[in-house]
Amino acid sequence: MSNLHEECAVFGIYGHQTEDVARTVYYGLYALQHRGQESCGIVVDDDGLFTTYKDMGLVSQVFNKQNLASLGQGQAAIGHCRYGTTGMGDRNNAQPIVVNHHKGRMAIAHNGNLVNAFELRQELELQGSIFHTTSDTEVIAYMITKERIDCESIEEAVNRAMNKIEGAYSLVIMSPAKMLAVRDPYGFRPLCYGKRDDGTFIVASETCALDAVGAKFVRDIEPGEIVVFDGDEVRSIKDHCETKPHKICIFEYLYFARPDSVIEGKSVHEARVRAGSLLAMEHPVEADVVVGVPDSGLDAAIGYSKQSGIPYGMGFIKNKYIGRTFIAPGQKNREDKVRIKLNAIAETMRGKRVVLVDDSIVRGTTITRIVRLVRNAGAKEVHVRAAAPPFTDPCYYGTDVDSQENLIACQHPLDKIAEVIGADSVGYLYVDHLNMVIGTQPGEGFCASCFGEPYPTVIPTGQKDRFEGKISKSEKKQKKSDAENYDMYLRND
């Protein structure tokens, strides 16, 4: 139950003309709602006529029978649900984005974050491009349509654009006749496709969405791959495959993805159980009950309980009708949501030594509140265990941790964090053991830069909200210092 902003979810269907594609996308986005709760949208393609509906809010709030029906029928549709990591949280930045260009139309949905979006946007603006959003998804759309001028096909334009965009991107792109699934060469974010018995193809961020619409999993989109759905044909372009090291975000397994999803052949649920087992071996403690923080801490708590032999107990009742706590803007609102979101079951914890297992500790505010709930329920001791290493560095690939300013592990020594959050002890998963969570070789196959590991790409200049004209605290301080120095120079000249 960390305070992380998530990235986004993409979904696409490509099938028959009579298919009620909008409703299928609705169900798919509903299954992917955990990845983004800020806005959502659907674009339907009916023989080249694109119909769009998108707005702020949850999938169930934005769409109803009337506006789903207004999208009509078609042979293809794509959808998106969002939490913005680049771009302000408003309707203009809701996706998918529809672009009209000289060779037709294109709709695009994007999960991830570019590291060179700011430079590319400046370059495009100097060439006369006018942007209507502040998200880097529009930068990708412009790069593709720019390449489309000299290309015979949409897939060729995408292939060329991939030479220039860098960072994390899992894309679903729709032209009047085709649908494309695209994944960056590092494979930061997951993307897969499946097929239904009626012959329609489904593309989704996670396999749980395939299950939700009755599609059978076919395979993951490979890092760097472009998969083209064209009529009954499925083609693959692999010019960018194996050009970069494989670096899927480890936090997809620890927090972002739904437990029932399978990413690159690895069960998310089993990965979290293994993380809990590792925690029990790394940070044992004498206790009476193991309690997990809903939802993504539950699997790790089961693993901790099995490995340690300490009984597992249900410690909290969760209000299922409120979104993840980080969605609320502002710290005060976030704390209010924690208060109404969870209620402790006192019978489980009264008079006991409790091991409290959560998926991670980011800023420390949420876990502090939860520890207080456990104390108020009568626990004799509270030992916090985090199924992720300490967050020490910003993420540039789709997780909204863009500075060290609010990371508790950067503000306090590890041996003091227990005191800060009100626990008797704190234990984090060892970063050197992350590979054991997903069964890879040490340091291979995943990105853990937010935990202090090397960044796979160049680090972007500026910060992710530069498109809104904002500057960081350090930049403000430097600007103030420069102004003061210049003023001093004028006075002394």
Residue whose C-alpha is closest to residue 175's, from 106, 78, 109 = 106
Residue 84: what pLDDT? Answer: 54
The answer to whether residue 208 is catalytic is no
Write down the architecture of domain 8-244 according to CATH: 4-Layer Sandwich (3.60)
pLDDT tens track for 117-146 = 999 988 888 887 778 777 889 999 999 999
CATH number belonging to domain 272-440? 3.40.50.2020
pLDDT tens digits, one per residue of 338-379: 667 789 999 999 999 999 999 999 889 889 999 999 999 999
User: Taking 90 as the threshold, does the pLDDT of residue 186 lie above it?
Assistant: yes
Domain boundaries, the chain: 8-244, 272-440
On the question of pLDDT at 462 being above 90, the answer is no
Q: Is the pLDDT of residue 413 over 70?
A: yes
**What are the angstrom distances between the C-alpha of 29 and each of 195, 211, 247, 422?**
17, 12, 25, 38
Take residue 89 and report the two structure tokens written for it: 């949280």
Distance of alpha carbon 143 from alpha carbon 169, whole angstroms: 14
pLDDT for residue 487 is more than 50: no
Catalytic residue among 8, 192, 208, 395: 8
- Residue 130: the pLDDT is 77
> Helix (H, G, I), strand (E, B), or coil: what is residue 193?
strand
Give 297-333 pLDDT, tens digit per residue.
999 999 999 999 999 999 999 887 665 444 444 445 5
Q: Tell me: cis bond preceding 223? Omega within 30 of 0 counts.
A: no
Question: Does residue 479 register a pLDDT over 50?
Answer: no
Contact present, 292 and 298 (Cβ < 8 Å): yes
With 80 as the cut, is the pLDDT of residue 414 above it? yes
CA 31 → CA 81, 150, 278, 375, 391, distances in Å?
10, 39, 29, 35, 28
Distance CA 213, CA 193 (A): 12
Provide the percentage of residues in the chain whose pLDDT is more than 70.
86
What radius of gyration do the chain's Cα atoms show?
A: 23
The span from the CA of 79 to the CA of 62, in Å, is: 13
Residue type, 160: R
Burial of 20 (0-12, 13-18, 19+ CB in 10 A): middle
Segment 250-279, tens digit of pLDDT? 999 999 999 999 999 999 999 999 999 999
pLDDT score of 476 more than 50 = no
Return phi, psi of residue 40, to 5°: -155, 165
pLDDT at 65: 94
